[in-house]
Amino acid sequence: MYAAPDHADPGHGRLLRPAGLLLFAAAVLAVILAVAWQYGWHGGLAFRQSAAQARARLQSATLLLGSGQYRAAEAQLAPVLRDPRSRLYRAALLTRWHIELTEAFAHAPGAAPRRRAMRRLRSLLGQLVEAGRWPAAQWRRLAREAFAIGAYALSAKAWLAAARSDPASARQDRERAARAWAADGRSAQGGRLLLALAARSHDPVRQRTFFLQGMGWLEGDGGAVAALSAGQATLAHLPGLWRDRTIVLFMARLALAAGQPQRASRWLSAALEHRPVESRR
């Protein structure tokens, strides 16, 4: 059996034990504080979701959505949606939107659950559009989804936001926005947008197409006087269109409908005589 040397202090071990315990406790506390800080505690009374936890919840919600477990998917998102400061809060909003959208279309058309779901969808979509700062591809997806549920005004806003985010595709996005305004019953607003596209275009074919379509919508919704004024302003930037017989006849008809027969007569005479049309007269 091992025996301590005769000269060893019998109290030596007892003197070191409290100091060792203090060092061990301090080390454990430091580890606990480091882990707590990593998981979102910064001196308050509650822990916040860590980015890793939030990301795991988003992935879990997506998997549950794919298997049709809508309520379970929403439950996974709930903690993330309670913290607007989270970097993944906006991603959670989008995931919630896709859950609600998928569930809504799972109901039969015209059924009461589907109508209720559509009302919730419009409210949620409004939040997403107001949140802003989405990339162009996401704006376009929101625009298409908004159109699919009949939220045409929100679709138009999303298309216009996409146009601002991606100037290279702005023409196509603004054209789709105009059609969304028309679908919403705001043909005059869509018409003005098409006239703006005509004025900006360098392609004579697009100029003509946008002009005639826009003028038709504007007249139908805003009346002949409003259409005549907008048409003249647009043609001031596109004088070459006055050489188009269809456009001259269209503008002359508008002038007659607006109670300006003298102007219509001058335009028709100039066109027949192959003289430049003075659009302001």
For the stretch 237-281, pLDDT in tens is 999 999 998 999 999 999 999 999 999 999 988 878 777 776 545
The 10s digit of each residue's pLDDT in 141-172 is 999 999 999 999 999 999 999 999 999 999 99
Task: Report the residue count for the chain.
Answer: 281
pLDDT grade, residue 67 (50/70/90)? Answer: confident
Q: Which residue in this structure is represented by tokens 């822990």? A: 47
Q: Which of 37-51, 215-229, 263-277 has the highest mean pLDDT?
A: 215-229
- Residue 1's pLDDT is what? 39
Per-residue CA distances from 273 to 252, 270, 276 (Å) = 15, 5, 9
Domain positions in the chain are: 186-281
Rounded to whole angstroms, the Cα distance separating 78 from 167 reads 36
Rounded to whole angstroms, the Cα distance separating 183 from 190 reads 9
Q: Counting beta carbons within 10 angstroms of the beta carbon of residue 51, is it exposed (0 to 12), middle (13 to 18) or buried (19 or more)?
A: middle
Q: What angle do CA 214, 128, 77 make, to 5 degrees?
A: 155
- Residue 274's pLDDT is what? 72
Q: Is the dihedral of CA 114, 119, 125, 129 positive or negative?
A: positive
Q: Tell me the Ramachandran region of residue 83: left when phi exceeds 0, alpha when psi lies from -120 to 50, beta otherwise.
A: beta
